[in-house]
Amino acid sequence: MFSRNKDKTKSQEPAEVKSPKVPKKSKMSGKARMSLDIGSKTTKLVTGILKGNSVNISSVNGTINKSEACFDGKMLDIHEVESTIKRLISSSSVHTKSAVCTIESTEIIRREMDISDVSEGDLEGLVSYEISQYLPIDTANYLLQIRKLGSYQEDKINKIKIAVGAMPKGIAESYQKLYSALGLDQSALDINSNALEKLIKLEKKADSRSVFNNRNVAFIDMGHSFFNISIFGNGDYLFSKLLPIGGSMVDSVISDVYRIGLNEAETVKIRKSDNYSINDMLTKFSQQKTSS
């Protein structure tokens, strides 16, 4: 997290923070959508419709990607990714052309900031300037996603709390090209943690006794190449971290221990994970390395 207030002259706790108003009806309500998650190992496709406070899922499908087609949110072989999604759409009997894609990447920058309240027209320019003061990046090469988290007054100055996501334009443009090649209407391109927060808020709105009320919750997405940890307090985004560890590392250890290929190692991991503890694996691995 980082906070920067150029006109802040003394440290003090802000007054009560008021949350922004939530629109009564989502623009996506009542329309069929497909949601795509393109990972480094698998691509997943889900279709459904948002009706009121409920999401009705009509199909779920997924497939294993060709090796190195996508990594860390970047498409390394866009033609292979396109072919993979076409196969998924065909096998899922999807008819809607409206698609949402959520991605995660170590190149996406996320920060929370407290800034002076300005007009909507000046907000992006102010945020761009504030970010450039702290990070060695050219904000002209990034797309900014700005969310207002609340407002308060400090020293008679109106302030707002915001969450900023900065996505490299190169990544965003590659997904636009993919959607165009697939003949899809890209209705949204979002960061995983933002999409998760929207789902939590929808659940809270539907159930006043939601498990997300008045508690901190951590979500851990254990991917093939990265673990994504997102923490929410009372349903509001607090923190997220992308860790460079994943299931592929477990496959590699099993492959080295049992001297088998990576594909076979993955099968062992899935089918026999209950038979071995991490200590067993570390002990066996260290012994083999020592004796070799």
Instruction: Give residue limits of the domains in the chain.
Output: 32-105+170-222, 109-167, 247-291
Residue of 185, 163, 167, 165 whose CA lies nearest to 176 = 185
For residue 16, give both structure tokens: 């009560």
Instruction: Say what the pLDDT of residue 252 is.
Output: 86
The CATH fold of domain 32-105+170-222? Nucleotidyltransferase; domain 5 (3.30.420)
Tokens 């109106």, residue located: 158
CATH class of 109-167: alpha beta
Instruction: Say what the pLDDT of residue 136 is.
Output: 81
- In the chain, which ranges are E strands? 32-38, 42-51, 54-64, 70-71, 74-75, 98-103, 109-116, 142-154, 157-168, 185-191, 216-222, 227-233, 236-243
> Running along the chain, 292 residues long, what does each successive block of 10 average in pLDDT?
35 42 54 89 90 84 87 92 93 88 89 88 89 84 87 89 89 93 88 88 87 90 89 86 85 84 84 66 54 47
Tokens 């196969």, residue located: 87
